Amino acid sequence: MSESPERPARPTGHDVAARAGVSQATVSLALSDPSSTRVSAATRARIVQIADELGYRPQRAGRALRLGRTGLLLLAVPDVRSTFFARVLHGAQRAAEEAGASVVLASGWSGRQVSEAVAGARFDGAILCSPTDGMLRGDLGATPVVLVDADPHTSGVERVITLDVAEGMNLLVSHARRLGHVRVGRLESSIASHTFRARQLAFDVAAQDLDVVRAPVDLEQGVSGSAAAAGFLLDLPDPPTVILCDDDVIAAGVYHAARARGLSIPGDVGVLGMDDSPTARLLDPPLSTISFPAEDLGAGGVRAVLDTAAPVAAVAPPRIVIRGSVTRVRVG
């Protein structure tokens, strides 16, 4: 009867310490508290490299007992089905992994649920992304909280990372104006949140000299809802020559409405979006849109919540991605 081969011994913190030439306490501190200044950057980098080579992972339970931490961060987003929030999650996970932490995702949580999770000290910190008004109700307790893509004047939250939504909308309106569009359609999200209010306010300022017609869109209805709203604009006696949309999903609805009426894009009507989601590249013709640094937003939120003493870093500015969905307005 053959004996089963023995499993190789699991690497320990002692193994890492022996190879790095440091104490086991130094290994523990370097891997469990990346923000600590008690371990030099060079020593920490060497320890992390050796730990990776050996396949060593510190025990989360032991680390939590020593530091009073769980190593878990809450990232709450309105809807994970949005590719924008998927990109935020990707950036947050990358930054958390670098810091030895993990991200727990919550999608579409109510204000009460967020409040209970954060105030219950189940997390070392919470990042609330593009929060709706309801998500900001309730006591957030003593757990560090960072808001991203949110109102910088939110009461009770000191650390907020904002997107330059106004600049993004200025880029869209300026592009439409350069191409000679004066009769402009506007599809606005009806979701009660700072990010969409900021888009609407920025548009109102940037488009004061334009002839604007508007329609609200319920994003909960998806493309069908935005197609219905776009249809209202396209059926007007004097329809707009270009339609500016709050995001790329809304813009996709314009494509549906235009095709249903035998209209061409951009020949009969131009379309502009925001967020530069994969949808923008899959549409025919591809959608001109605004690209926001979603990954930077997630990473910045994690760094800000882990190091509450450091200043909040600004994310990269938005940029316009010009594709084929809008052209110069036809005269005559």
Full pLDDT tens readout for the chain, 332 residues: 444 455 456 788 788 889 999 887 788 777 766 666 678 888 888 888 898 888 886 654 444 444 456 778 989 888 888 888 999 999 999 998 888 888 988 887 766 777 777 666 578 888 989 887 767 665 666 778 899 998 887 766 778 898 899 999 999 999 999 999 999 999 999 888 888 899 999 999 999 999 999 999 987 787 889 999 999 999 999 999 999 999 999 999 999 999 999 999 999 999 999 999 888 999 999 999 999 999 999 999 999 998 877 788 888 899 999 999 999 987 65
The pairing of beta strand 319-321 with beta strand 289-291? antiparallel
- The pLDDT of residue 29 is 75
- The pLDDT of residue 167 is 94
User: What's the chain's Rg over C-alpha atoms?
Assistant: 25
Please name the amino acid found at residue 331.
Answer: V
The pairing of beta strand 72-77 with beta strand 289-291? unpaired
Rounded to whole angstroms, how far apart are CA atoms 284 and 254? Answer: 12
Is residue 133 within 8 A of residue 89, CB to CB? The reply is no
Rounded to whole angstroms, how far apart are CA atoms 206 and 58? Answer: 53
- The pLDDT of residue 118 is 67
Rounded to whole angstroms, how far apart are CA atoms 226 and 66? Answer: 52
pTM (predicted TM-score): 0.75
Q: Which domains does the chain have, with CATH numbers?
A: 13-67 (1.10.260.40), 72-162+295-314 (3.40.50.2300), 165-293 (3.40.50.2300)
- The pLDDT of residue 14 is 82
Residues sharing a CB contact under 8 Å with residue 133, sequence separation 6 or more, in sequence order: 192, 193
Rounded to whole angstroms, how far apart are CA atoms 106 and 91? Answer: 15
- The pLDDT of residue 83 is 86
Is residue 208 within 8 A of residue 268, CB to CB? The reply is no
Rounded to whole angstroms, how far apart are CA atoms 41 and 98? Answer: 13
Rounded to whole angstroms, how far apart are CA atoms 192 and 76? Answer: 16
- The pLDDT of residue 157 is 76
- The pLDDT of residue 48 is 86
Rounded to whole angstroms, how far apart are CA atoms 153 and 160? Answer: 8
Rounded to whole angstroms, how far apart are CA atoms 60 and 67? Answer: 10
State the burial class of residue 329 (Cβ atoms within 10 Å of its Cβ: 0-12, 13-18, 19+).
middle
SS3 for 150? coil
